[in-house]
Chains A and B, each alone.
Chain A
């Protein structure tokens, strides 16, 4: 099992460009999450999907959109990138329908917006 995989690993964008970050999990988890990590600020939730077909905003959703393509895949889209979106982005998944909060993370996408 690969766990949670993310593509790409690194990306450089110019201001105003768009891109989609891809995430897939092979653990048959119901819930998936997108976080951003900035220096000294820990992880902040952007969007989450409790189950296939549902998505909800997290703490910092502005400037992002998400798609839960199927149970395995959850993508994050930046429509018009801004320098403030320079960050490391992590996807995570969990078996939310059971009594567990344990989330499992992918390796991250390091995004720079110039």
Chain B
């Protein structure tokens, strides 16, 4: 199956700093999604990207769908303590009548006061 390489695996940053993480694949995807997971909870959808080259923002979060359709990045500006969590990218492809996602292994973000 498809493999997604998500980097970095973990990040320790100071409150107020900007954060950047990315996902790359050897395969093309039709969609890139970014999720955040907090301890003991399920992943929560942050941003969905549907067109190559698309740049989308959600508050302090900005994500881009790479032109080659094989990568995506997520930026968080002016980080705050509640940004702590694991961020997952997911690439989407159709399989029959269901649309399936392939997930990266996550970036663990720690924000230091």
Contacts and interface: CB of A to CB of B under 8 A. Distances in A.
Q: Name which of A4, A102, A107 has the most chain B CB atoms within 10 A of its CB.
A: A102
Interface stretch (B42-50, B55-63, B73-81): B42-50
Interface residues of B, number: 27
Given A41-B105, A42-B106, A43-B88, A31 B98 contact: yes
A94 B99 CA distance: 9
Contacts of B4: 42
B29 to A, nearest CB: 9
B97 A96 contact: yes
Contacts of A51: 97
A104 B100 CA distance: 13
A54 B97 CA distance: 10
Interface string A31-47: 10000000011111100
Contacts of A44: 103
B7 interface: no
B100 A45 contact: yes
Interface of B: 1, 4, 6, 9, 30-31, 33, 35, 40-45, 48, 88, 92, 96-101, 103-106
Interface of A: 4, 31, 40-45, 48-51, 54, 56, 58-59, 90, 92, 94, 96-97, 100-108
